[in-house]
Structure 1
Amino acid sequence: MTLAQGTDLLLLDEPNNYFDPAPALDLPHLVDVLHADERVDLVAVFGPEHGFRGTAQAGGSEGTGRDPATGLPVYDTYGKSGQGLADVFTAAGVDTVVFDIQDVGARFYTYIWTLYDCMRAAALAGKAVVVLDRPNPVGGVRAAGPVLRRPYASFVGREPISLAHGMTAGELAGLFAGEFLRESGPAVRPVRLRVVRMTGWRRESFFDGTGLPWVPPSPNMPTPATALAYAGTCLLEGTNLSEGRGTATPFELVGAEGADRRWAEAADALGLPGVWFREAYFTPSFSKHSGRLCGGVRLIVHDREAFDPVRAGIGLLVTARRTWSGFAWRADHWIDRLTGSDRVRVMVDAGAGVEEIAADWAAELAGFAALREGYLLYP
């Protein structure tokens, strides 16, 4: 995320065409591009969770300092919102906030809420917001999973959208402005928002269809395949099971010390479309069960169009509880923040199956799917 002073952002006037072939692919950071352009007075850089350069692990940031490449001040925004973030924008002397961060399509991936917080803070401070849109790497044909209920709002979900939203950051920005940020109160100016659209991207496209190389947006998002599984397997953060952090394939490989082949067998027996569950063993180098041999499951997605990551994640929760005696929810009920209510936890504990749990959120999901239609920008 970068901040530019002044409104002469001519560099951004043309569509952000990610799909034009080129003889040599040039991948400079946006900060370097804007800093080198005489038409833009770039005065500061802001870093979200994971930091400006994306080096910090989950729940961390890189702090405040100076970018060695440009000499620009870098402000740490992680954990800041509302008037506090607005005050930072004002102190930095910016007029326009430019948002350019790759999302992965899941409600609890926090960059979209950094966008939301920046939009709200910009409205409070009287600043403009420009979003440089990027592909949703897992496609955008459908929304999936439970819709957040407001009593469970947090930084992994500020507003009632579905767990897998099927939208781009630019589309979400329009949704936020049109549905949620209008509620900020009469003293708050409307969000001055501009979305620079992509050309060439279609809703059925997965990331490998863009022709672009994958640049990991955070340390545990190494490949597009990780992003495909993430909306489901990240639910294991709400348990004592490892979600694969500390391995080469986080979120595709899950397990725990003491779990065994029965979990993979039970998960595969569910017959969920588009995915196979294979017995696996691994030793995480950090995070949960660090340095200990874990038994668990590797997800093998063989049909991306049919695969529903949220149902797969629910299936893993249901079968882990049935097959591993050591299964436990995190004591802080983090699973409720991730799923958006206590319903999944309560139903899993009651012995409900995947389809019964999915049926419980069906009406709310249909409502969100209808709402999002008015904000979609791409065919």
Structure 2
Amino acid sequence: MKKIMTGLDVLLKDNALQSQFKGNVALLCHNASVDGNLQHATLGFKKIFRDRFIKIFGPQHGFSTDAQDNMIETDHTVHPYFNIPVYLLYSETRIPTEAMLKDIDHLFIDLQDVGCRMYTYIYTMTLILDACVSKDIEIVILDRPNPLNGVDLEGNVLDMEFESFIGLHPMPVRHAMTIGEVALMHQRYWAASKSKLRVIEMRGWTRQMYYEDTGLPWLLPSPNLSRVESAFTFPGMVLFEGTTLSEGRGTTQPLEIMGHPKIEPYGYWDTYLSQAFAKSGLQGVAIRPINFLPTFQKQADKPCGGFQVHTLDRKTCKPWRVGQWLMQELHHYMGDHFEWLNPPYEYDYENWPIDIINGTDKLRKWVEAKGTMEELDAMEDYSEYQSNLESIQLY
């Protein structure tokens, strides 16, 4: 399989392109910011730009991608090898300050997104764009694949009454954009004023590709997505962050499994859930009863019963739909043992975390009322979004 070229690869191999960046440069990056030879972007930048490479930025989970989930902040530091500042944009601020942006002429962004609205890296990028509106700083996006493909939309469009750092823009859960296209969408439809923006496009990527089709190695973009399989189940399993159930953090397969000490998975599956699954219309997926022991985070050191979601067919599986269905079934099976997580969540101290994750309160109410799958379908309306998406597509 031939590898595609990411925006980083294109930059590193094109001397004429490199020569267009005359001033000081900074780089927003993380663990997955590597070229086709697995060399980290910072090493390439040091070779190309030398002393003009003056600052590094990191998103949520840090430059090293080692900090855990919600509201776990990381400190600014000085890189021990490059001897330049490393500023973290999931710290006391999620917006770069004047001091952080000082003396930068070109701010490059090389982040592996996972194609899901609840993932924060796209919002770190759009907040940077907003912060640079009145500044002579060019924002350069080194584009990377959407691992869920650039075609399939899934999930409700965000209700802006539930805006948060895991939902700043009116997009569905699976948004079908690359990170470069998110930047273009922001500038055309969401930003009050435009910034200086350039997208360095990939070569060889097509919209139908899943990550496995790119020929690129998968490097975890955040601590709990170590497998490309986890990225595909993420749109559904991340919903359980809004409950007291474990979403598998503290195990080796987070965001593919979920559970709780009060779930007896085998009996529940055998006597009821397997039959309900057969009637649900869900395709391309298998659900397997399991037991597991989280070593940290929710339900730490408590034996849990639960389920693992296995994707059998990427083309027919709808992970967001699977997650919503499983949430509803477990809510009614567990009774009083099923609890919604209390605030705060992603710096929102008022709304239910599940409503912040869903981008609406309608889905929580659908779960509680045991609504129908037809009612779930009705929450997916992409008419306006689809038109906007087609207008900014690069590939």
TM-score by length of 2: 0.84
Aligned to 1:126: 136
Q: Distance in 2 between matches of 1:293 and 1:268?
A: 25
Query: Which aligned runs of 4 or more in structure 1 are off by greater than 2 angstroms?
Result: 8-13, 59-62, 79-82, 88-91, 263-271
> Is residue 241 of structure 2 the alignment partner of residue 223 of structure 1?
no
Change (3 A) 1:209 1:98: same
Q: Is the 8 A contact 1:67 1:73 kept in 2?
A: yes
The alpha-carbon distance between structure 1 residues 216 and 113, as it changes in their structure 2 partners (threshold 3 A), is same
2:248–2:254 Cα contact (<8 Å) kept: yes
- Of 310, 319, 325, 1:315 maps to 325
Tell me which of 335, 357, 360 is aligned to 2:376. Answer: 357
Q: Is the 1:228–1:309 Cα contact (8 Å) retained in structure 2?
A: yes
Please list the CA deviations of residues 284-305 of structure 1 after superposition, one character each: whole Å capped at 9, or x if unmatched: 1111111111011111111110
Matched with 2:61 is: 50
Residue in 2 aligned with 1:207?
211
Task: Give the CA deviation at 1:234.
Answer: 0.1
Q: Alpha carbons of 1:317 and 1:51: their partners in 2 closer, same or farther (altered >3 Å)?
A: same
Residues 61-105 of structure 1: per-residue CA shift (max 9 Å, x gap): 4311111221111112215668x62413334x2111100000001
Partner of 1:253: 257
**For 1:80 and 1:339, how far apart are their aligned partners in 2?**
25
* Alpha-carbon shift at residue 260 of structure 1 (Å): 1.9
> In the aligned structure 1, how far is the partner of 2:225 from the partner of 2:318?
19
Give the superposed CA RMSD: 2.3
CA distance 1:50–1:373, change in 2 (3 Å): same
- Are 1:342 and 2:361 matched, yes or no? yes
Judged with a 3 Å threshold, the aligned counterparts in structure 2 of structure 1 residues 88 and 357 are, in CA distance, closer, same or farther, namely farther
Q: Quick check: 1:145–1:163 contact (8 Å CA) kept in 2?
A: yes
* 1:265 matches 2:274: yes
- In the other structure, the counterpart of 1:171 is 181
Q: CA deviation at 1:344?
A: 0.3
Q: How far apart in 2 are the matches of 1:266 and 1:78?
A: 44
Tell me, in whole angstroms, the C-alpha distance in 1 between the residues paired with 2:19 and 2:131.
22
2:96 is paired with a residue whose SS is helix
Gaps of 5+ in 2: 1-7, 9-14, 21-34, 344-351
Report the 3-state secondary structure (helix = DSSP H, G, I; strand = E; otherwise coil) of the residue aligned with 1:179: helix
Q: Does structure 2 retain, via aligned residues, the 8 Å contact 1:55–1:62? A: no
2:389 aligned with 1:372, yes or no?
Answer: yes
CA distance in 2 between counterparts of 1:12 and 1:288 reads: 50
**Is the alpha carbon distance of 1:95 and 1:354 closer, same or farther for their aligned partners in structure 2, counting shifts above 3 Å?**
same
Alpha-carbon distance between aligned partners in 1 of 2:246 and 2:374, rounded to the nearest angstrom: 24
Provide the rounded CA distance (Å) in 1 between the counterparts of 2:387 and 2:366: 26
Match status 1:65 vs 2:72: no
Are positions 1:106 and 2:125 aligned together? no
Which residue pairs with 1:17 in the alignment? none
Secondary structure of the 1:148 match is coil
SS in 1 for 2:323: helix
Question: Which of the numbers 189, 194, 201 marks the counterpart of 1:197?
Answer: 201
Q: Which residue does the alignment assign to 2:31?
A: none
Question: Do 2:67 and 2:74's aligned partners in 1 also have CA atoms closer than 8 Å?
Answer: yes
- Could you give the per-residue CA deviations for residues 308-332 of structure 1, whole angstroms, max 9, x where no partner exists? 1110111111111121121111123
1:29 equivalent in structure 2: 40
Give the total of aligned pairs: 353
Report if the CA contact (8 A) 1:268-1:276 is conserved. no
Q: Please give the alpha-carbon distance, in whole angstroms, between the structure 1 residues aligned to 2:16 and 2:135.
A: 19
**Alpha-carbon displacement from aligned partner over 1:158-207 (angstroms, at most 9, x marks no partner):** 111111101100111100011111x25xxxxx211000000111111111
Matches of residues 270-285 of structure 1 in structure 2 within 5 Å? Answer: 270-285=280-295
Q: CA 1:95/1:163 → structure 2, altered by over 3 Å: closer, same or farther?
A: same
Work out whether residues 10 and 39 of structure 1, in 8 Å CA contact, stay in contact via their aligned partners in 2. no
Give, as a single letter, the amino acid of the residue that structure 2 aligns with 1:11: Q
Deviation at 1:353, TM superposition (A): 2.7
Shift of 1:53: 1.2
* Deviation (angstroms), 1:141: 1.1
Amino acid at match of 1:101: L
Task: Return the offset for 1:223.
Answer: 0.9
Residue 163 of structure 2 aligns with which residue? Answer: 153
- The one-character-per-residue Cα deviations of 1:322-356 (angstroms, maximum 9, x if unpaired) are 21121111123111111111110112111203331
Q: Distance in 2 between matches of 1:57 and 1:330?
A: 18
Residues 77 and 315 (structure 1), Cα distance of their counterparts in 2 relative to 1, 3 Å cut: same
CA positional deviation for 1:132: 0.2
Corresponding letter in the other structure for 1:345: R
| Residue of structure 1 in register with 2:338 after alignment | 327
Residue 197 to residue 80, structure 1, CA distance change in 2 (3 Å):
farther
Identity %: 34
Task: Give how far 1:43 is off.
Answer: 0.4
CA shift at 1:131, angstroms? 0.1
The 3 A distance-change label for structure 1 pair 9 and 338 is farther
Give the stretch that moved more between structures: 116-125 or 228-237. 116-125
2:132 alignment partner, SS class: helix
| Change beyond 3 A, Cα 1:152–1:124 | farther
Q: TM-score, normalised by structure 1?
A: 0.88
Q: CA deviation at 1:370?
A: 2.3
